Structure 1
Amino acid sequence: MKLQPPSDPNRLDAPARIKGRGAASNPEGRFEGIAKTREDDGWHRDDEPPARPDTVVTIERARSIISRNDSPDIHFEQSINPYRGCEHGCVYCYARPSHGYLNLSAGIDFETKLFAKTNAAELLRAELGKRGYACSPINLGANTDPYQPIERRWRITRSVLEVLAECNHPCTIITKNALIERDLDLLAPMAKARLVHAFVSVTSLDNRLSSTLEPRASAPHRRLEAVAALNAAGVPCGVMVAPIIPMVTDRWIEQIVERAAAAGARHAGYTILRLPYELKDLVREWLELNVPERAGHVMSLIRQMRGGKDNDARFGSRMRGEGEFANLVRQRFRLACRRHGINAQRDLGLDTSRFTPPRAPSPQGELF
């Protein structure tokens, strides 16, 4: 039986903003059968700030590394996620409910209890070497960010890129962290061979908003600097205006496209906020804590774009939404791109013909 927590807003486990974290609570996942509440033991003070949970990274020895999909909404068939969970803490992240499969919460757990796939490069080399492997671009960052802060230490994304570069295998990258600049020594030569295209996700141009919405991602201006740095180094880098949250981030659509074009971007995309499973409650919680005067209006607009529901998982509409507000966003985005010469060429032009399977290890070593 699932126990329901009390509705008293002054209870000990009531949601509260935690500096450096996106979620304000740690609700049970949808697969758990028991709900837990904290009880006051007499030591808690009303003026005591909420605890700031530490990031804990667990080594995961994955069994496979390439994920495949046939979704008509996604422009790639293969992807790699070097990490489970994401320290960026973006409260809107559609990947949060995936932590439920680990018997963990989509809330604080998702951004503090992380898993590093330390054998990713080893598995990738084995999968690329399989007989009959058909080369198609691999996306890094489809679920969780490949350049989240822990990548600075673990360097798993870099090890994956090293294998892809060695095999002349094309890839795309989606990130919201300027740490991608670290790997320009790998990305620039790959770009010359038409093997890589990057996208940096920018949701707004407001640093204060970003610090609560996506607290451990790079600041918006820093992400645009990364777009400029990659393009200046010859690595084609576009921008993703994603996700667009009505009455919270949509006001920056035109400015982001303009700034991205000035940074050399020639491709751009966008998505509308999605609220699968536990995510809808986490986002409602964030709205009530950060923009309470607009919370009801924001959720009303979301439901208008989702056929009267909090979420619409149907292919064809889940990324862009439907209805008048969704159509308005679509028109604004297209006009902004046309004005600044973005998306003139939708094909990313990645070359799959150069792919060379990795050489199998030999007991005699590499003599030639």
Structure 2
Amino acid sequence: MDRRTMLRAAVVGAGTVALPFTAWPAAYGAPAQNATGPYGPLGAADANGIQLPAGFTSSVVARSRQTVPGTSYVWHDAPDGGAVIPDGDGWIYVSNSEVGSAAGGGASRIVFSATGQVVGASRILSGTDNNCAGGRTPWHTWLSCEEVSRGRVFETYPLGGTAVARPAMGRFKHEAAAADPVRQVVYLTEDEPDGKFYRFVPTAWGDLSAGTLQVLRAGSATSGSFTWATVPDPDGTPTATRRQVSGAKTFNGGEGCHYAGDTVWFTTKGDNRVWQINLAAGTYELAYDDDLVSPGSAPLTGVDNITGTSSGDLYVAEDGGTMDICVITPDDTVSVFLRVTGHSGSEITGPAFTPAGDRLYFSSQRGTSGSSSGGITYCVTGPFRD
């Protein structure tokens, strides 16, 4: 019995239903190596310029500066981090806009019916700067993060409500967030060459208005044990949060972040790595390093946003590279799942699965034009494994 089978047997035996939002990962023996992907080779580019494995199809959901089909709402520029929020029998896809406040920075939503038809779209956050990535909470809000010096986290309400800043979560160059309902904390990445990895411990779970910001402390190696230390001044002035705690481990350009089953994964673009932290064991190691891949060249470069599925597969989007979304499996393999052609001046952003796990949303932030006004948001459907 392989690790995937053992994992799924354990989940079923525990009477737990695993969804893409709470994916159960297998015991990765990182770092991942090249292998044939679980869906086979890519086919020729389709009408949308996307290469996919057999059985998968793509569609365009929205384009920047154009009305979202079926609504009167104009889709925002530079779509970036995203997530899917359950909404009755349907769902909502939320997406950040990585432009300045004067250019319309913030976040938007697209509302889908149970059959995947667009039934609405609207703005959920305005007047903020360079909202890059973020994270979904178990209480169905979206944490939209500003990627600027002393940036803020904004809690938005896709199901209804007014967005609010959460300064207790720290003022720094925020990237992504991932909620851990077991330890009742939120993990945070920092997009700096000497960035750190944080967790926010709310005073009360479900209320992010107050709490304690902590930073991961560890040695300089790529694996080992770690501890958490409190950041004295989360406001980050006059001393930046990343420079307040001695022994805080440096990560080169923190990007996407994903939590599932006592493990948190995050990406660092400066060295093309995916890190994994075993929260139960108190250890960290590499899930992927493009310098350690064999045989052949690394399929995944420019690592960025990351998400996961109930199968334990991780989907990692590229910022640059060959505009791929790659799959890292619990069997420690890495392969290309899809490739967007003709978008060399763009990056892939916002990968997120529906609750059923049969639809994957993502965006090309700048599309074929290479401009923030050229963003395109897609949906891929097909036989994703569960």
Q: State the structure with more CA Rg.
A: 1
Q: Is TM-score (shorter-chain normalized) higher than 0.5? A: no
Q: TM-score, normalised by structure 2?
A: 0.26
Which has more helix, going by share of residues?
1
